[in-house]
Structure 1
Amino acid sequence: MTDAPTGLRERPKSPHLTVWRWHITMLTSILHRATGAALYGGALIVAGWAIALASGPEAYGQYKALLGSPLGKLVMFGMTVAVFYHLANGVRHIVWDAGHGLDLRSANASSIAVFAFTAAATLAIWLIAGMTGAL
């Protein structure tokens, strides 16, 4: 006879946050997905802007006031960060798809480069907007 257990077997444990040690490429992957989802919200903001523009000066003025409020500026700043992060990380993925930069050192360096580009580009856009009176 066999000694096989007759009850339910214990299921194997899948990798989880408590099993994996956090690393920068893991963070960039999660943020890439999050910024991609946030950009859908940004598309709705742009669509609202176009609708307000087509609805006449009064509607456009109200929408512009909403986006010019402190909360609106915070949302627009976040959208700027999301656009530049998603762009930079997308370029990084294209490089990976070509088979380059897949070793650990290059992947970590490109992660840092993505964050650096995001910060520099976002700050540059907002500084230019401030200098031109767009804020």
Structure 2
Amino acid sequence: MNSPTRHTRPLSPNIQIYRPQLTSVLSIANRVTGIVLSAFAVFLVIWLSVAAASPQAFATVQSVMGSWIGQLLMIAGVFSFFMHLSGGIRHLFWDAGYGFQLRTIYASGWAVVIASLLLTGATWVLSIYMAG
């Protein structure tokens, strides 16, 4: 039966003091960007199917993509592509046995973040320049 005093398991002290590290955040980000890219692959198939279906259907999809939410989703997709690509290149170096010093791990992690942001920005600036 139940005893009058309730016994609870003690929480690990690590739960209260844990701070996310750059490496763990980038590992999670790599998985999330992979999922986002999978969703965008499905969207690409839908977009191409609609483009082949009729001009009216294509115009509808293009108007959605031209809205602010559509543009935000496109930026997220482009950033996900570059983040996943940069993280993958980083992992290729690790697979070859390079870059395991703590200082190099953090430098390459920040390089992934900065490269992803710069490449996303450059892509959008170039797309605006090419469109206009």
Q: Which one of the candidate residues 79, 82, 94 is aligned to 1:81?
A: 79
Q: Give the Cα–Cα distance (whole angstroms) in 1 for the partners of residues 85 and 15 of structure 2.
A: 27
Q: Which one of the candidate residues 113, 117, 120 is aligned to 2:118?
A: 120
> Is 1:69 the equivalent of 2:45?
no
Counterparts in 2 of 1:3-22, with a 5 A limit?
A: 18=16, 20-22=18-20
Deviation of 1:36 after TM superposition, in Å, equals 0.7
Q: Percent identity?
A: 34
- Paired position in structure 2 for 1:25: 23
- Paired position in structure 1 for 2:100: 102
- Paired position in structure 1 for 2:57: 59
Residues 92 and 63 of structure 1: CA distance in aligned 2, closer, same or farther (over 3 Å) = same
Q: Give the Cα–Cα distance (whole angstroms) in 1 for the partners of residues 13 and 27 of structure 2.
A: 16
Q: Give the Cα–Cα distance (whole angstroms) in 2 for the partners of residues 16 and 57 of structure 1.
A: 58
Q: Give the Cα–Cα distance (whole angstroms) in 2 for the partners of residues 14 and 52 of structure 1.
A: 53
Query: Structure 1: which amino acid aligns with 2:73?
Result: V
Residues 59 and 86 of structure 1: CA distance in aligned 2, closer, same or farther (over 3 Å) = same
Using the size of structure 2 for normalisation, the TM-score is 0.85
Deviation of 1:43 after TM superposition, in Å, equals 0.8
Query: Which structure features the higher share of helix residues?
Result: 2
Gaps of 5+ in 2: 1-7
Using the size of structure 1 for normalisation, the TM-score is 0.83
RMSD: 2.1
Q: Give the Cα–Cα distance (whole angstroms) in 1 for the partners of residues 30 and 63 of structure 2.
A: 30
Gaps of 5+ in 1: 1-9
Deviation of 1:104 after TM superposition, in Å, equals 1.0
Residues 102 and 133 of structure 1: CA distance in aligned 2, closer, same or farther (over 3 Å) = same
Q: Give the Cα–Cα distance (whole angstroms) in 2 for the partners of residues 116 and 63 of structure 1.
A: 32
